Amino acid sequence: MSEPRNRSALAKVVGASLIGTTIEWYDFFLYTSAAALVFNKLFFPTSDPLTGTLLAFLTYAVGFLARPIGGLVFGHFGDRLGRKKLLVVSLVLMGGSTTAMGLLPTFATAGVAAPILLTALRLIQGFALGGEWGGAVLIVSEHGDDRRRGFWASWPQCGAPGGNLLATAVLAILAATQSDATFLAWGWRIPFLLSGVLLLIGLWIRLAVAESPVFLAAQRKAPEVKHVPILDVLRHNRREILVTIGARMAENVSYYVITAFILVYVTTGLHLPKALGLTAVLIGSAVHFVSIPLWGMLSDRVGRRPVYLFGALGMAAWSFAFFALLDTKSAPVIVAATTVGLVLHGAMYGPQAAFFAEQFPTRVRYTGLSVGGQLSSIAAGAVAPLIAVALFQSWHSTIPVSLYVVSMCVITVLALLAARETRGTSLHTEEAVPEPAVA
């Protein structure tokens, strides 16, 4: 195949992965924003707004608890049956559960059954996302070349800010065009029902994607080998699993503090309109989207670890400046603080896809990447808003929240220092062994 055709085929895979991950993250982040803005009132009504918010974030955290299970199940079958089939299943589960949320009765109508149903659907969301991330990252990583993998594999990562951008934009438009009473009565349902339309679009695009050539080559080489990927990973790749978990701690926690806790702090702590917090996340997510592939490209030149380390160390320093700037209550300053924070996050998130994929051999790559990546989501992303809200509620200060972010950055730095540099690693061999990179 000629180089233009190769590039065209890769661009098609990248586009399909990006659109699919954007839709799935839209669904996941829509819940995050709704938990901060309306679910506390509709499904967990209490006299204390912060307590209601904590209860809403508990169901938010349930989605993270299901993600490692999804990563294990999807990883197992993805390593046995292929990447593409599992990506289609994850999209259907995510889109279907999110659409169903838009049809749920509230606590006022159904009583305790309402939060139970909401929690069940959140579990399905988490299960689906646990399998989506690893598959989307791998199908691009395994289609691309070794020299520019950091750049190409970073594009599915753009689905996170893309989905957040889309979810926040829809909520911001509704907040600007509806009264609080109307939005609380029925307007909040619109973005959830919109997921049904996005699901159909995503399926149409994703079904046209070709299976990973690296997986097909490995399957042809050993078609009769029957193995249990998770057992192989735990037996031979424990170090890589630990590196993956540790490297995600700062990335996960900082992201949810910046994009989820900010909505709580701006409205409850600073008593500013929720539209201001949504606008800051909206603008920051747009810049974040652009920065991620640039960081991925830089990792192809200087290495995965240096770029990732810069992001972790920068985030540790910014965690204090971030809240100091929010406290000015100036709209432009709040937007700038959020944007800088997300750009620093991009320095970790951009090279992450290639860095993690290069840690594992083909036969267990989906399982290793998914399980390692999603286990960290329990210890980091699942509890980040809960811990941030609890710390703020207990101390009436954001300094403990900043110290919490810093402690996660320390864990990530230690994990990166323990990891090997993987730039230039070939995925076209069974064992992931670094080769000399071309700058």
Lowest mean pLDDT among 60-64, 313-317, 370-374: 60-64
> Domains in the chain, ordered, with CATH?
3-418 (1.20.1250.20)
Q: Tens digit of pLDDT for each residue in 276-297?
A: 988 898 899 999 999 999 999 9
- High-pLDDT (> 90) share of the chain, %: 35
Query: What is the band of 1 on the pLDDT scale with cuts at 50, 70, 90?
Result: very low
Q: What is the pLDDT of residue 104?
A: 93
Q: Tens digit of pLDDT for each residue in 409-431?
A: 999 999 999 998 999 888 765 54
Instruction: Evaluate if residue 6 carries a pLDDT over 70.
Output: no
Contact 368, 163 (CB under 8 A): no
- 328-335: long-range contacts (C-beta < 8 A, 24 or more apart)? 329/270, 329/272, 331/276, 331/279, 331/280, 334/266, 334/276, 334/277, 334/280, 335/279, 335/280, 335/283, 335/284
Q: What is the pLDDT of residue 429?
A: 57
Tell me the two tokens of residue 163: 């989905």
DSSP symbols for 175-240: HHHS-HHHIIIIITHHHHHHHHHHHHHHHHHHTTPPPPHHHHHHHHHSTT----HHHHHHHH-HHH
Higher pLDDT, 301 or 119: 301
